Amino acid sequence: MVFNKGTMSKHPDLHPDSAIIDAHGGPAKLAEKLGYDKSGGVQRIQNWRTRGIPDKVKVAFPELFMTDLIDRIKSSDDTQAPVGGTGGKEKFSKLLA
């Protein structure tokens, strides 16, 4: 029998997004940041620990869930717009201010 010590999670049923929820202070704090009511919002976020944070929520709140992307855009010195559209900096201008 082989055991992969150190590679197995203590909570294999938790989604990797659970760490993001913890980083924001847990379900109650994150529910408050997202403007969810306490009665159902905390339970909704608790469910995300196993299901993952929905993509539409991540996109709606990039300042909470896409901080690495925002940091990369801020530090980018690439001024050339991608083919077929405007530069990414314009799209995130509110976040870069």
Nearest to 65 by CA among 15, 13, 21: 21
> What is the chain's alpha carbon radius of gyration, rounded to the nearest angstrom?
18
Model confidence at 26, pLDDT cuts 50, 70, 90, reads very high
Flag the least confident range among 12-21, 32-41, 84-93.
84-93
Nearest to 41 by CA among 33, 15, 50, 55: 33
Question: pLDDT digit string (tens) for 71-82?
Answer: 888 887 665 666
